[in-house]
Amino acid sequence: MPIASVNPATGAVLKEFAPLGDTDLDQKLALAASTFATYRHTTLDQRATWLRQAAQVLDDNKAAYAKIMTLEMGKPLAAAVTEVEKSALVCRYYADHGAEFLADEPATTDASRSFVRYQPLGPVLAVMPWNFPFWQVFRFAAPALMAGNVGLLKHASNVPQCALAIEDVFQKAGLPEGAFQTLLIGGDRIAKLVTDDRIKAATLTGSEPAGISLATACGQNLKKTVLELGGSDPFIVMPSADLESAIATAAASRLLNNGQTCIAAKRFIVHESIADRFEQGLTEKFAALKIGNPLDDGVAIGPLATPSIAAELEQQVKACLDQGGKALIGGNVAAFKAQLPGEWQGGNWFPPTILAALPPGTPADQEEFFGPVALVFRVSSLDEAIARANDIPFGLGASGWSQDPAEQNRLIAELEAGAVFINGLVKSDPRLPFGGIKRSGYGRELGRQGIHEFVNIKTVWVK
């Protein structure tokens, strides 16, 4: 079957691509292996130069790249431009700091000289998602390439034009042929692909089932993996919080990228003494959103990326309402879509929705809602808030809102997550490690820790 690029706003097919045949795929693997044999010996200064040139290519073409993203997966155009800019930022970050992170680290032992040296592993397979089709690739690629590895990208099948554009960025930046290649293949070929001895490690950002599948295949072949999976991040608001700022940030976090981000705040756990004001303020923010063609200026919410994402979200919301939950806004997909222009009837549109008064046992308790749906829970104490926040299979990020230092310290210490942000929106930053615990995955991207995931941490002892 062809790999199709489909406009999620209308359902119209933009372009189709033939997947790689076995012979073509083997040739790409052979090229990756042969390129690595020489690329690993390039200097850190040369790799930094290439990354800076990649950043410049991104900056020079950000409008074009942003439009491809918006047409393929529906994010608002302004957000897509910001994503390209952030991708350039991570290239420059590792160009500036990679040599420091990869320098030999001396140790005092019984040897005349002993140290730790960081050396690349080889071709690394990156299985990447559609929701941030540039950023999530570059946050892998920049440290991996700086470390001396080469990259093989198996991107989500609904963003093939993004995948090819990213390969083109590195080609225009002057990297050797084969240093970074896109593999246009279906997901059903990944498990077999990782059995190839030329692939030395793999990383995946995506769903929990996809992560389990990749980790199983890599485990059977004893290959290193890094997984960044789903999340249902808590957003705790205590009475001492700056409520106006908390509400504004809550709306921004939940609706970023049309609500399709792993580290979005999804469960809003609010102290009962301020819950009425929080719900009212959040509802007002949702009601004020401009929904429409994501290519238009000022649009805050576009369509969801795929029909399956929209269908699953609708089923989850319906289950919550059927079990007694209350929609403060949205919730009725049919009524929402009936008001849309005719050309959008084939698109994956979903109304921004807030669900409250949720009884125990609904999907809101344990599942991730991947779209513009906020889940509000009331609690009577910080103890109850932390317990509810942690009572979930996921552990990616968490946001806590309080001006009380003692409460802040408890939130930092007790929330089970790979990142805790106090009085701020959870986000990824090249300067800090990023990743989760529990069923949100393992390993870290970004920061000093991220560049060390795909290297041989070699002990050297000399007498």
Tell me whether residue 435 is in a domain: no
Tell me whether residue 434 is in a domain: no
Q: Confidence class of residue 79 from pLDDT cuts 50, 70 and 90?
A: very high
pLDDT in tens, 269-281: 999 999 999 999 9
Residue 327 and residue 450 in one domain: no
Residue 213 and residue 252 in one domain: no
Q: Domain holding 452: CATH number?
A: 3.40.605.10
Residue 211 and residue 240 in one domain: no
Residue 77 and residue 193 in one domain: yes
Both tokens of 3, joined, read 């790999």
Question: Does the active-site annotation cover 91?
Answer: no
pLDDT in tens, 2-32: 999 999 999 999 999 999 999 999 999 999 9
* pLDDT above 90: residue 74: yes
Tell me whether residue 425 is in a domain: yes
pLDDT in tens, 45-71: 999 999 999 999 999 999 999 999 999
Tell me whether residue 75 is in a domain: yes
Identified catalytic residue from 167, 262, 367, 445: 262
SS3 sequence, the chain?
CCEEEECCCCCCEEEEECCCCHHHHHHHHHHHHHHHHHHCCCCHHHHHHHHHHHHHHHHHCHHHHHHHHHHHHCCCHHHHHHHHHHHHHHHHHHHHHHHHHHCCEEECCCCCEEEEEEEECCEEEEECCCCCCCHHHHHHHHHHHHCCCEEEEECCCCCHHHHHHHHHHHHHCCCCCCCEEECCCCHHHHHHHCCCCCCCEEEEECCHHHHHHHHHHHHHCCCEEEEECCCCEEEEECCCCCHHHHHHHHHHHHHHHHHCCCCCEEEEEEECCCHHHHHHHHHHHHHCCCECCCCCCCCCECCCCCHHHHHHHHHHHHHHHHCCCEEEECCCHHHHHHCCCHHHCCCCCCCCEEEECCCCCCHHHCCCCCCCEEEEEEECCHHHHHHHHHCCCEECEEEEECCCHHHHHHHHHHCCCCEEEECCCCCCCCCCCECCEECCEECCECHHHHHCCCEEEEEEEEC
Tell me whether residue 145 is in a domain: yes
Residue 66 and residue 176 in one domain: yes
Residue 68 and residue 139 in one domain: yes
Name the percent of the chain lying above pLDDT 70: 100
Residue 69 and residue 203 in one domain: yes
b/e map of 143-153 (b: 16 or more CB within 10 Å)? bbbbbbbbbbb
Identified catalytic residue from 83, 228, 312, 453: 228
Residue 108 and residue 251 in one domain: no
Residue 202 and residue 241 in one domain: no
Domain that holds residue 381: 233-429
pLDDT in tens, 354-373: 999 999 999 999 999 999 99
Contact call for residues 201 and 121 (beta carbons, < 8 A): yes
- CA dist 240 and 218 (Å) reads 47
Please count the structural domains in the chain.
2
Tell me whether residue 65 is in a domain: yes
* pLDDT above 90: residue 453: yes
Per-residue confidence (pLDDT) for residue 1, from 0 to 100:
87
Residue 126 and residue 275 in one domain: no
Tell me whether residue 187 is in a domain: yes
Tell me whether residue 308 is in a domain: yes
Name the percent of the chain lying above pLDDT 90: 99
Per-residue confidence (pLDDT) for residue 22, from 0 to 100:
97
Residue 194 and residue 269 in one domain: no
Residue 360 and residue 397 in one domain: yes
Q: Domain holding 362: CATH number?
A: 3.40.309.10
Question: Does the active-site annotation cover 162?
Answer: no
- pTM for this model (two decimals): 0.97
Q: Residues 119-130: what's their mean pLDDT?
A: 98
